Amino acid sequence: MYRWFIRNFPDGGKYADVHSALIQYGYVDWATSLVEYAYSLWLEKENFAYQETNATDLLAEVLSDITPQVKADRQALGIQTLPLTGFIPSDNSPYTRKLAADIDNFKLMDIYNSSQIGCAGDSARIGSTGHSARISGSGVNVQIGSSGEYAWLSSSGYSTQIASSGYGVRAGCVGHDVRVGSSGDRARIATAGNSSKVSSSGRGVRIASAGMRARIGSVGDSLKVASSGDLSHISSFGEAARVVSAGDNSRIVAMGEHSLVASAGSIDYVVLGKGGCASVAYFDGKRMRFAVAYEGEGNIRAGVKYRLNDNHQFVEYSA
């Protein structure tokens, strides 16, 4: 990978551009390693969520075949759809297409509104540019990209990737090691497997995670996150975020103004922004209580990591 990177990016490159190039060259495993490395290194950096959603937007474009050059070529040739492989049409309507497949390596680019697409094979690649699409996959290593509004995207396989840039998208994943990226406002995202990776840059996004080791990053305002797994790592940089965690050993960063953090489990550390507050549950030997921190009070400063000491007081965290 190093020699490939030097050849293609001799002056260095942005994360999103490198990721997109790896996908286009067919180096999917290298792209996956890059994503894993990036989440482990930069999740607490505000710019990373933008970079990651830019990368998933580019992935959606590749899957939907709507890069500028492709769009120009298709318009010049009068091409409306690309050839489909392995699909079974059940409706000839130009407005609501219903397609199903049970083969591996299924590939489809769809431009119609309200399409319903399902695939049960592994390594499927499905792209959609229409609004109100319904797309589901149940195989492993499935990639789903959508640029339309109000899409419903779901998967139940291991190592799924869902990329969305539309408004009001619903994305749900049941499987380990999934990756979801959304740049549209008011997205609703839910994951139920371990080691999920979720990023968003839209306003009013809702994210729910039920697996261990979830990594969630967001830069949109009015974010709401709920996580029930242990070892979760959550970073939010938008204003008025609400972050709730029920797992133990969580790491929570809520740097947006007036953000709120509530944890029913133990924390490794918490970081607040201006006007933020946090409550963390603990057992005092007789009953459960909450330790509460308010930015600007009791020596709690914005941008500083805090943990609970043995006396259940917030103190600065040191690795």
Residue 169 scores a pLDDT above 80: yes
pLDDT computed for residue 77 by the predictor: 45
Min mean pLDDT across 27-41, 92-106, 234-248, 265-279 is at 92-106
| Token pair listed for 197 | 């990776």
Strands (E), 213-276: 215-218, 224-227, 233-236, 242-245, 250-254, 260-263, 267-272
Q: Which residues contact 92 (CB under 8 A, 6 or more apart)?
A: none
Q: What band does 65 get if pLDDT is binned at 50, 70 and 90?
A: low
Residue 92 scores a pLDDT above 80: no
DSSP state letter for 157: S
Helix, strand, coil abundance in the chain, percent, nearest 5: 20, 35, 45
Is 207 in a helix, a strand, or coil? strand
Q: How much is the CA Rg of the chain, to the nearest whole Å? A: 21
pLDDT computed for residue 84 by the predictor: 41
Longest dimension (CA), the chain: 75
pLDDT computed for residue 62 by the predictor: 80
Is 8 in a helix, a strand, or coil? helix
Q: How far apart, in whole angstroms, are the C-alpha atoms of residue 159 and residue 289?
A: 39
Please name the amino acid found at residue 302.
A
Instruction: Name the pairing type of β-strands 233-236 and 250-254.
Output: parallel
Alpha helices in the chain (DSSP H): 2-8, 15-25, 28-42, 46-64, 68-77
Segment 262-268 long-range contacts (CB within 8 Å, at least 24 positions apart): 265/230, 266/308, 267/307, 267/308, 268/307, 268/317
Phi and psi angles of residue 290, each rounded to the nearest 5 degrees, phi first:
-115, 135
Reported as a single tens digit per residue, the pLDDT across 236-271 is 999 999 999 999 999 999 999 999 999 999 999 999
Residue 79: other Cβ atoms inside 10 A: 12
Q: pTM of this prediction?
A: 0.87
Reported as a single tens digit per residue, the pLDDT across 187-203 is 999 999 999 999 999 99
pLDDT computed for residue 25 by the predictor: 80
CA 252 to chain centre: 16
The residue to which tokens 């968003």 are assigned: 200
Is 312 in a helix, a strand, or coil? coil
